[in-house]
Structure 1
């Protein structure tokens, strides 16, 4: 297009790649006159000027999707409807297939971590019950410390990388810049994320090594307990794996922003295989016991981090002095909001577990079985959420609001269908499924009585998790945090009242209320078209689309 243009225009100048490869957001002047349009002529709708260079995938300001005319919108929606291959409201068009192609590898990658934990548990369990309990306590402490910072960084990185990827694609889409299409990209968000991850990982290591005794006191493991020494040993060795874990998560966030979920799956699969092999060598043949299990896990985490960094470096520049250029302040602000949000989730879930434990060992065992199934199934919804997040961030940054709406509708529709299918499967199959974990009739009786909690909550969980991904896709972090504070406070108050009165039924009802409030808050945000949703959902009715 640029080759046939009679003269350079302001639009072309604004999108010309600078001599250096630094990525900036695209600022397109609003109300640009077309070169072939007379400035004295009255404003009227005319055919698009053929001499005006355009950038594929970027919506011009004067054609802002928030101001689309009704005929244009209906025409676009009819085109996308015609692509559907399934009857009814769920159609696997191009957008739906994009969501599934990102979500499917992500599900396997998310499931790899619980599988690796099961492998460690299997090896340590053959050492003895004391060692098994020690490993369980240490893993809980490690996850509590690391999750507080790791998950927010992962989500923020995914959104920021997707945004800068969309801007970079806009530059490279112009004719004169196609020579850069095969070169590595420079996305400042990647450098900033990895720098933050390295610093946070080192702080987590120091905190876990020097604070292991204090952390054991906090969770109630006395000094004279037989679990105390092996638990501290495992936690101390495990602490050396904090830096590679968070660096790997930052790299995964970058790959997700690039909409590549297959590379993380490959890296995690190789790392878990290394972990299983080293467990078999360290735990018994070398006689390292609990320390051997920790050493095997840490080694596998370094393997995963190295593979991800190696693959990421082939796509983008990962080492650069332009850390501040990646928006360090924006990272810290957004990350701080999500850290607060994570604390609200952890406090609510911890309170529910504490109240369930007061019911006794058998009810607690049944509750734990239900809860683990409940959390494991949520991995499917997490995968849908990250697919929606990456796609929505890309289209929102390009200002392709029509396509962003389609991503929004499809991910909600697929999430609803997935949640309903899981509810039906678990309602009829949970009894047989729970027998795989225990043969104690009392525990099975408690677990089977919670089938309504596990099954009925699945559509609600799907909506809540998917909405989380949509928040992050448009960087609506403030509302995501404040709405979680509200949902956590209301649900915690309900738990404190209902659990003593109704036992496990009150605990399960409180957790369903917690997820329901999250889903309602998210759908209300979309329906009210507040914040960034005003641009995407302008002049549309969400309920009609769903």
Structure 2
């Protein structure tokens, strides 16, 4: 790799091209690059885990809070619990479709834009330092020469004026000394002024907030999408709940409709908070959102018993507790963000509206494809009867929950790669991508053991029915064995987003989902419950292979691996 310093002080590594030997370089081998260092806590390892660990905790905070929320609601009765369950499922699906694409592209765009601004700022600072050095070393000497010339002229004039004076020589010497004193005084003033200007400019730069146009754009989209989601869930609550399976005229529908409308009021806060999480992730800061999220959900859990039982608001109290905590989280993140970013863009032209719409639309299509594929599998399990559906739900919940850890690594590699691609630091791109995928595989193997043993001995926590437990143990090998595959598939999403390869990420998954839906139906017909899990395992394997193919063949943003 050859170094290129055309982008300021950042070290930029351009791929060297061998014109004499332009053979296939086997990009597939990148996955085994420095594999022995997978556990090494060097700068790359520390950076990846430093971002991943808080991100994973932040992602896990929401389902944990929802679980506690559900436990409080469960004490109200089965009807209230069912009403809250169907409403929360509908709300979460709507939020996922609207906000997931926005968070993903915001992380990449903010990381990329901040990196480019830092490169520019470093270049300007470097040029300023060079100018100051030139002033200190060259400009005073030129001043001395010029002042010396003018001093010589002055000497001639003095001599002419005082030719008749007997102390001519002494006057001339005095004048020369005076000239040199003036020159020294001017030189000192120049240096002092330059030094004071440097200090004041440094202080002002420290105080100056960053102007990241993509952050402003993300907040605009988050607000608009939040208002649209709120309006949709409020005005279409009944037909949406009927579509989810709620029966007309039943008490559950009445309670669910009321609860969903109240939860919908918090949609703008939810989407704004999530979009700000994407901005902080772009800054490689996952700790700030984690602190705010933990405090926000702690407030939610504290308000639940107070509003549900003490003030006897029931299901309404649970909804109010959630909405209040969401708005406080959004406000806290916004105030912290204001201290770091100037959210007012220089002009409307600086907002990346079209870029957000294009890439956000692609990822929205991707989310819909994923949601349809998994939902279709659940619908097939439902057709097999309540016993099969209960077993499928148990296996699926464990299957999905275990992926939360992989999400932390996906966030970290997305932020690191987005910055590195902006810098064109191909050495770091290759090292970071290889390291995170190796970490993911090791983590996936560990999860396979934990999930396999845990589900085998702990299935009784989810059900006491023998027939359900029997089916859970049949599905267990698929749930456990696919953990490394699932983890790699999710982290490859972060790799694609970090490379801003949104088109490939969307189109490849849409194709994978179309093929997988066909496989799900065929396997369901042939093997029933086992067939559904075989099909889901194939689906996740295809997702993982799509990621391997892109990097392993050195196509798209990974072309440099072939040079």
- Band of TM-score, shorter chain: 0.7 to 0.9
Partner of 1:12: none
Give the equivalent residue in structure 1 for 2:231: 206
Q: Is 2:98 the partner of 1:149? A: yes
Following superposition, which runs of at least 4 residues in structure 1 exceed 4 angstroms of deviation? 86-90
Is the Cα contact below 8 Å between 2:345 and 2:351 reproduced in 1? no
User: What does 1:249-328 align with in structure 2 at a 5 Å threshold?
Assistant: 249-320=274-345, 322-328=347-353
Aligned residues of 1:381 and 1:415 also touching (Cα < 8 A): yes
Residue 79 of structure 1 corresponds to: none
Are the structure 2 counterparts of residues 323 and 507 from structure 1 closer, same or farther at C-alpha, using a change threshold of 3 Å? Answer: farther
1:330-367: CA deviations, max 9, x gaps? 00000000000011001101100001111211221111
Match of 1:64 among 6, 9, 14: 14
Q: Which segment drifts farther, 461-470 or 174-183?
A: 174-183
Query: Alignment partner for residue 234 of structure 1, among 253, 259, 263?
Result: 259
Equivalent pair of 1:388/1:469 in contact (CA under 8 Å): yes
Which moved further from structure 2: 461-470 or 310-319?
310-319
Equivalent residue runs for 1:133-532 within 5 Å? 133-174=82-123, 175=125, 176=128, 179=202, 180-320=205-345, 322-532=347-557
CA distance in 1, matches of 2:271, 2:55: 17
CA distance in 2, matches of 1:467, 1:266: 27
For residues 418 and 528 of structure 2, what CA distance do their matches in structure 1 show? 43
Q: Which runs of 5 or more structure 1 residues have no equivalent in the other structure? A: 1-46, 71-83, 540-546
User: Which structure's residues are more often helix, by fraction?
Assistant: 2
What's the counterpart of residue 158 of structure 2?
Answer: none
Where structure 2 has 5 or more consecutive residues not aligned to the other structure, the ranges are 21-33, 130-200
Give per-residue Cα distances to partners, 1:221-244, cap 9 Å, x unaligned. 221222100000110000011101
SS in 1 for 2:461: coil
Higher mean alpha-carbon deviation, 212-221 vs 461-470, is at: 212-221
Is the 8 Å Cα contact of residues 7 and 120 (structure 2) preserved in structure 1? no
Q: What SS does the corresponding residue of 2:513 show, helix, strand or coil? A: helix
Structural mapping, 1:85-100, within 5 Å: 87=36, 91-100=40-49
Question: Structure 1's 56 and 281: CA in aligned 2 closer, same or farther, altered over 3 A?
Answer: same
Q: Distance in 2 between matches of 1:242 and 1:105?
A: 24
CA distance in 2 between counterparts of 1:54 and 1:212 reads 53
Instruction: Please report the RMSD computed on the Cα atoms of aligned residues, expressed in angstroms.
Output: 2.3
Count matched residues: 475
Q: What are the superposed Cα offsets for residues 31-79 of structure 1, whole Å, 9 maximum, x if unpaired?
A: xxxxxxxxxxxxxxxx999xx88723242xxx62354899xxxxxxxxx
The 1-side partners of 2:36 and 2:437 are apart by: 17
Deviation at 1:393, TM superposition (A): 0.4
- CA distance in structure 2 between the aligned counterparts of 1:343 and 1:218, rounded to whole angstroms: 17
Residues 195 and 58 of structure 1, relative CA distance in 2, 3 Å threshold: farther
SS of the residue 1:238 aligns to: helix
Larger radius of gyration: 2
